[in-house]
């Protein structure tokens, strides 16, 4: 019984020995091939090429990343400027709205205020996505920036469109609103006229004679303490002679030009943000 077991073990060892010898031969061949001078040269050259490509790709990626940081910083500054201009226009020029006869100007300003605030927030969002190399954040940033780009471009164009139409609508609206001055329930129109005439030092639409009957106290120059003579017997010495139409039109046109140009400039800056975010998105594996 013991003799049979020993013989079977020897037979199994002999059966396995060719495969082991074959594996050893293959390992020896691989080692020889690897240690061969020519093959070693090509192998090391290939590794150097791959490492070189990886270095250049890393350098390019870092360049795009830092460019995105810089562009987002500039976009943030541009968005903050547009936001400040929009808020200043709404607060400081709100008294003219009742005399414009259209909501196009105020609508364009509110659009630019909202989009510029979003631009400031998204600039931080884009920087985080670039620093952490999150493809999802970069893709979201690209989509939102594209939508804001279209919105700000439209808002800037609307500002220029309103700039050309302001003189056409304002004269008719100012003449029609004069009939409601001092009327019951028309306090907003009365205040709009008073603030406009006091701040811009003007009276009437084109001349103080546009007021029929008694002239508003807001038309009188502030150098006089008694406004009664000014209202009953207006003269160039005690009343604002220049009409409000030209002054108001020029003021609105200038503000519309500034806000419209700012919106278009920021929209152009957003293009660079989209380019860098798209490039970085494709470089991240």
In a domain, 214, yes or no: no
In a domain, 206, yes or no: no
With 0-12 CB in 10 A as exposed, 13-18 as middle and 19+ as buried, what is 251?
A: middle
Is residue 242 classed as helix, strand or coil in its secondary structure?
strand
Look at residue 15 in the predicted model and tell me its pLDDT.
45
In a domain, 17, yes or no: no
Report how far residue 209's alpha carbon sits from residue 162's, in angstroms, rounded to the nearest whole number: 29
Look at residue 31 in the predicted model and tell me its pLDDT.
43
Look at residue 281 in the predicted model and tell me its pLDDT.
82
Look at residue 91 in the predicted model and tell me its pLDDT.
79
Angle at 187 between CA 182 and CA 190, to 5 degrees: 55
Look at residue 233 in the predicted model and tell me its pLDDT.
77
Look at residue 4 in the predicted model and tell me its pLDDT.
40
- Taking residues 109-133, what's their average pLDDT? 84
Q: Per-residue confidence at 33, pLDDT binned at 50, 70, 90?
A: very low
Report how far residue 97's alpha carbon sits from residue 87's, in angstroms, rounded to the nearest whole number: 14
Per the structure, how many domains does the chain have? 1
**Does residue 267 carry a pLDDT above 50?**
yes
Query: Which residue would you say has higher pLDDT here, 142 or 59?
Result: 142
Query: Which residue would you say has higher pLDDT here, 276 or 5?
Result: 276
Look at residue 209 in the predicted model and tell me its pLDDT.
84
Domain that holds residue 95: 55-180+248-283
What's the pTM?
0.65
Least confident stretch, 28-32, 86-90, 248-252: 28-32
pLDDT tens for each residue of 134-171: 788 888 888 998 998 888 777 667 766 766 666 667 88
Look at residue 247 in the predicted model and tell me its pLDDT.
87
Look at residue 104 in the predicted model and tell me its pLDDT.
67
Is residue 227 classed as helix, strand or coil in its secondary structure?
coil
Look at residue 49 in the predicted model and tell me its pLDDT.
34
Least confident stretch, 97-101, 183-187, 253-257: 97-101
Paired strand residues for 207: 242
In a domain, 153, yes or no: yes
Percent of the chain with pLDDT over 90: 1
In a domain, 80, yes or no: yes
**Does residue 72 carry a pLDDT above 60?**
yes
Query: Which residue would you say has higher pLDDT here, 165 or 173?
Result: 173
Residues 6+ apart with CB under 8 A from 60: 283
CA dist 96 → 141, 142, 218, 245, 257 (Å): 38, 38, 15, 11, 17
In a domain, 194, yes or no: no
Residues 6+ apart with CB under 8 A from 201: 240, 242
Percent of the chain with pLDDT over 70: 71
Report how far residue 26's alpha carbon sits from residue 209's, in angstroms, rounded to the nearest whole number: 111
In a domain, 32, yes or no: no
Look at residue 58 in the predicted model and tell me its pLDDT.
66
- Taking residues 267-279, what's their average pLDDT? 87
**Does residue 43 carry a pLDDT above 60?**
no
- Taking residues 253-280, what's their average pLDDT? 83
Asked if residues 256 and 160 have their Cβ atoms less than 8 Å apart, the reply is yes
- Taking residues 51-72, what's their average pLDDT? 67
In a domain, 97, yes or no: yes
């Amino acid at each position: 019984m013991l003799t049979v077991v020993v013989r079977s073990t020897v037979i199994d060892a002999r059966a396995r020995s060719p495969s082991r010898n074959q594996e050893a031969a293959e390992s020896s061949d691989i080692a020889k091939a690897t240690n061969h001078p020519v093959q070693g040269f090509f192998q090391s050259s290939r590794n150097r090429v791959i490492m070189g490509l990886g270095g250049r790709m890393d350098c390019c990626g870092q360049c795009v990343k830092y460019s995105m940081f810089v562009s987002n910083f500039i976009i943030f500054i541009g968005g903050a400027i547009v936001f400040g201009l929009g808020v200043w226009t709404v607060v400081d020029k709100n008294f003219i709205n009742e005399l414009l006869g259209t909501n196009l100007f105020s609508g364009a300003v509110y659009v630019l205020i909202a989009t510029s605030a979003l631009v400031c927030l998204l600039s931080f969002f884009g920087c985080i996505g670039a620093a952490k190399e999150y493809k999802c954040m970069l893709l979201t940033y690209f989509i939102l920036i594209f939508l804001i780009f279209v919105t700000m471009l439209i808002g800037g164009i609307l500002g220029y469109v309103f700039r050309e139409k302001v003189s056409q609508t304002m004269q008719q609206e100012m003449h029609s609103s004069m009939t409601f001055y001092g009327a019951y329930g028309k306090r907003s129109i009365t205040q709009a006229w008073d603030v406009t005439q006091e701040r811009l030092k003007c009276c009437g639409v084109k001349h103080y004679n546009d007021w029929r009957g008694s002239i508003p106290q807001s038309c009188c120059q502030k150098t006089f303490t008694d406004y009664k003579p000014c209202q009953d017997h207006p003269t160039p010495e005690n009343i604002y002679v220049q009409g409000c139409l030209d002054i108001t039109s020029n003021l609105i046109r200038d503000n519309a030009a500034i806000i419209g140009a700012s919106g278009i400039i920021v929209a152009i800056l957003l293009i660079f943000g989209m380019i860098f975010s798209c490039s970085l998105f494709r470089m991240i594996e």
